Amino acid sequence: MSDHVYRLSEIVGSSPTSTDDAIRTALRKASQTVRNIEWFQTEEIRGQVVDGDVAYFQVRLKIGFRVD
């Protein structure tokens, strides 16, 4: 088995629906320009509150991708 080198990048996904959807949105968009994404790690969850209710979810992620 060969050794691999990975790089980390930080991204933020957002969604009016859920944190899960915010994560999936971020990963789908990142995978359009970043090759070899193999894992993610959530760093922070935050959101916008409007009239006492959650209006938007934001999730800050680190993504790990293999360097060619």
The pLDDT tens digits of the residues spanning 26-42 come to 999 999 999 999 999 99
Q: What does each C-alpha distance from 68 to 13, 28, 55 come to in angstroms?
A: 25, 20, 40
User: Is 16 part of any domain?
Assistant: yes
Q: What is the CATH number for 47?
A: 3.30.1660.10
User: Is 53 part of any domain?
Assistant: yes
Place 43 in a pLDDT band, splitting at 50, 70 and 90. very high
Please give the residue range of the domain that contains residue 58.
6-66
Whole-number pLDDT of residue 10: 98
User: Is 1 part of any domain?
Assistant: no
User: Is 28 part of any domain?
Assistant: yes
User: Is 12 part of any domain?
Assistant: yes
Phi, psi of 65 (to 5 degrees): -135, 145
Whole-number pLDDT of residue 37: 97
> Domain tally for the chain?
1
User: Is 37 part of any domain?
Assistant: yes
